[in-house]
Chain A
Amino acid sequence: MSEGNAQQRPDLVNITIDGKQIQVPKGTNLIEAAKRAEIDIPHYCYHPHLSIAGNCRMCQVSVKGQPKLTIACNTGAAEGMEVSTHHTSKEVADAQAGTLEFILINHPLDCTVCDQAGHCKLQDYHFEYNARPSRFLEEKVQKVKAVPLGPTVMLDGERCIMCTRCIRFCDEVTKTSELGMLNRGDQSVIAVSPGKELNNPLSGSVVDLCPVGALTHRTWRFNTRIWFTKQSDAICPGCSTGCNVKVAQRDNAVVQVKARRNDHVNKEWLCDEGRYGFGRFLSEQRISGCYANLAGGQGHKAVTVAEVVQALKGAMRTLTVLMAPELLTEEYYLLKQIFLRASSLGRAVVAYRGRSLTPVEQVLMSPDRAANFRAAQVTGLVGEDPEREYDEVLGKIRRKEIEHVLILGERAIAPADLDDALIEGLAAARVSVGVLTEGDTPLSQRLSYVVPGRSILEKSGLLINRAHRMQYTQQAVEFPDGTMPEWRFLALLGEACGFKMLPSAPQQMSDRDLTRWYLSVEPVIASLGLSIASIKNGGVQLPAAPHTVGAGTTTSETQGAHSAL
């Protein structure tokens, strides 16, 4: 029921679990209570964000004074309760082993061909709580295998253990009720109504929920074994909800994306657009070195980043900057510092485009495709209406009123806005520099200078979501040689303009170094005394007001920036 730490202080009760005494709010279910005592109670059908089903019988515990074992997920903590899990009760251990044995009776021997192998709760619990050979001699029940429930999800009827998490998700979270359990007994099977399919915008989440390999992703079917992948705890850069994800990469390709639990942001859900569209942040044709486009469309010549920075230095006063909406918070901050010192008439806009959402999409998604626009706002670069400002600047560019422009990030211009008039406008600028990832595009061929950049998936750093929660995203894939993150370019630009913002040379610093620097130097953040570790633990809620003060204020930030000189 309650997960504690509510706004008002609920009654606390004292309970004992396996001899450990803890205090939990009255009525907390025993699985959550045991978690606080750092004891894991195995479970299948229980999920903290779904209703209680109580059908798997895996979370049984022994409560002193009760004649039979009780399920922990549906037992509320009461004063003086003494609970024994499998650690201290043989009865419980036997019951859990027995439950597993029952589940495994009709479970097919599919591990060798099942996508869930390696991250399967049935495998894991069998090793931990049973690990006995099978005693089953009869024929296992056969059901339909490989049923496409919808465009994204594949069902294997035999592997299902009937926990009903998927059904409850569709009933309670998306409220679309596509799934049901047909038949009864050992013939039970998950199905959709004939003629319908599982196609809500969060449909991939049922695959995350399924503890076994009954529900699997169709797009990633059989693509890899999970133990061949390297996994990172990232934040989805699709929109400003900032869902916590675990990205699995193999050979630098994103091969699976799983939602991570964050009770403040995305519970444990992820939308299909974010999950399956992760690859859209990576470019096919990468740019490998800085170059300057030659006039008259005659190709380009290689230059050094120093030359690019020099060309831009002279254009600083009236620089227009187009920013991708998923630049790191640290990068927006660096740009703001440059504006404060070197660009009195400069202007920055972030590529914000609002979108309307259906009621089901609104469960999770934000009405934008701009992951970190809040950071652009709190650093003072953009105002309350980022879309209007963005449109204004695009209009100016199309009318060829902009002389000096810096484009930070491939998505600094939304694809729908990248029309010929805009390209011509950019080409007509005296100095235009783009830190881009995709080569051989009209954009990369018409700017004055192009610097090879990195995508958000190749960076680690801080993102602020729509609700002003600061979260840390870990780099998910390796970046190609020769590329540089926008922050390094900005730091070099700052150096060329005569001020050193970072404590060490930009080429020597890593993304982590940058984040640590930012956490210590930005006034509002520094006052919170945060570390990367504390932010990684679920994110940190920030005050909603803009942080960085405007030009003309001498604060510790300017002192800090000069201290390394």
Chain B
Amino acid sequence: MTDNAQVFHINTRGIQAVREPVKLSEAAEKRAQEIIPLYPQSRSAVMPLLYIAQEELGHVTQQAVEWVAARLSMPQVQVWEVATFYTMFHKQPVGRYHIQVCRTLPCALRGARTISEFVHQRFGLRPGEVTQDGMWSFEEVECLGSCGTAPMCQINDAFFENLTEQRLGEILGRIEKEQPDLKLSTVRDSLGAGLAGHPRSEIR
């Protein structure tokens, strides 16, 4: 598979600055106002706020960065610095279900490549791509810390471990069948040996 380092290429000619200040949903604004006072300096809340914006807007867009920068009184470029440093802030659109297959050593030894190939076969996706209907996207990531249950993948916030091609096929089928009413944790609990109490965002 190709290297899919999510690198944010600067191209100031293409992107226009968003003029009108953006407001996210009430739940998002409320959550942001709860998070900001937790830190002595408001700019320390840049990462939780970027996560909130990403969940609302799909990925970190110029609009998301302006939203975060406005609430934290930070220069926008410094928000971009944080957003581009971390791969889990997506700078390109991702699907509704973003499959992240671990490719580091223990998973690789136990067949991560087969899992990646399976995803490629099923959806026609290479790393970094999104399906036409916007439902699925795929990425190969570094170690997710679940080496004892390799090979595994993460879909949005949930781990799906001890994978085989067949088990992954079942998981994906169940997701396809039950969405949009799907709560991802339901699928994980019944089909995957997931981590109980796995932390996930409150916004859903």
Contact = CB atoms under 8 A, between A and B. Distances in A.
Given A183-B7, A183-B8, A196 B84 contact: no
A182 B77 CA distance: 9
Contacts of A183: 7-8, 84-85
A144 B12 CA distance: 11
A197 B12 contact: yes
Interface string A196-217: 1100000000000000000000
Interface string B7-22: 1111110111110000
Contacts, number: 63
Given A147-B10, A192-B12, A182 B81 contact: yes
A40 to B, nearest CB: 33
A157 B12 CA distance: 13
A144 B10 contact: yes
A180 B77 CA distance: 6
B185 interface: no
Contact of B75 (A147, A184, A193, A195): A193
Nearest to A185: B5
A182 B81 CA distance: 5
B149 interface: no
Contacts of A182: 8, 10, 80-81, 84-85
A192 B75 CA distance: 10
B15 A194 contact: yes
Contacts of A147: 10, 12
Pick the most buried of B5, B62, B75, B85: most chain A CB atoms within 10 A of its CB: B75
Contacts of A144: 9-11
Contact of A180 (B15, B17, B80): B80
B76 interface: yes
Interface in A159-182: 177-182
Contacts of B152: none
B78 A177 contact: yes
Nearest to B65: A193
A192 B77 CA distance: 6
A189 interface: yes
Contacts of B75: 177-178, 180, 193
A192 B80 CA distance: 9
Contacts of B17: 193-196
Contacts of B80: 180, 182, 191, 193-194
Nearest to B7: A187
A165 to B, nearest CB: 16
A157 B15 CA distance: 18
Contacts of A177: 75, 77-78
Contacts of B77: 177-180, 191-193, 196
Contacts of A189: 10
A157 B78 CA distance: 18
A195 B12 contact: yes
Given A177-B78, A183-B84, A184-B85, A195 B7 contact: no
Interface string A259-284: 00000000000000000000000000
Interface size classification for chain A? 20 to 34
Contacts of A193: 17, 65, 75-77, 80
Interface residues of B, number: 22
Interface in B14-44: 14-18
Contacts of B18: 195
A253 B15 CA distance: 39
A453 to B, nearest CB: 46
Contacts of A180: 75, 77-78, 80-81
B15 to A, nearest CB: 4
B78 A187 contact: no
B15 A195 contact: yes
Interface string B150-190: 00000000000000000000000000000000000000000
Given A177-B75, A195-B17, A187 B65 contact: no
A180 B85 CA distance: 11
Contacts of A196: 17, 76-77
Given A177-B75, A180-B80, A182-B10, A187 B15 contact: no
Pick the most buried of A177, A182, A189, A197: most chain B CB atoms within 10 A of its CB: A182
Contacts of B84: 182-184
Interface in B37-68: 62, 65
B91 to A, nearest CB: 10
A191 B62 CA distance: 14
A196 B65 CA distance: 13
Interface string A290-305: 0000000000000000
B52 to A, nearest CB: 20
A163 to B, nearest CB: 16
B84 to A, nearest CB: 4
Contacts of B10: 144, 147, 157, 182, 189, 191
A183 B86 CA distance: 8
Contacts of A179: 77
A200 to B, nearest CB: 12
B90 to A, nearest CB: 14
A176 to B, nearest CB: 8
Nearest to B77: A180
A304 B81 CA distance: 67
A183 B11 CA distance: 14
B16 A181 contact: no
A29 B62 CA distance: 41
Nearest to B87: A184
25 contacts: A144-B9, A144-B10, A177-B75, A177-B77, A178-B75, A178-B77, A180-B80, A181-B81, A182-B10, A182-B80, A183-B85, A184-B85, A192-B12, A192-B77, A193-B65, A193-B77, A194-B11, A194-B14, A194-B16, A194-B62, A195-B15, A195-B17, A195-B62, A196-B76, A197-B12
Given A177-B78, A193-B77, 12 more contacts: A144-B10, A178-B77, A179-B77, A182-B81, A182-B85, A187-B5, A187-B7, A192-B77, A193-B75, A194-B11, A195-B17, A196-B77
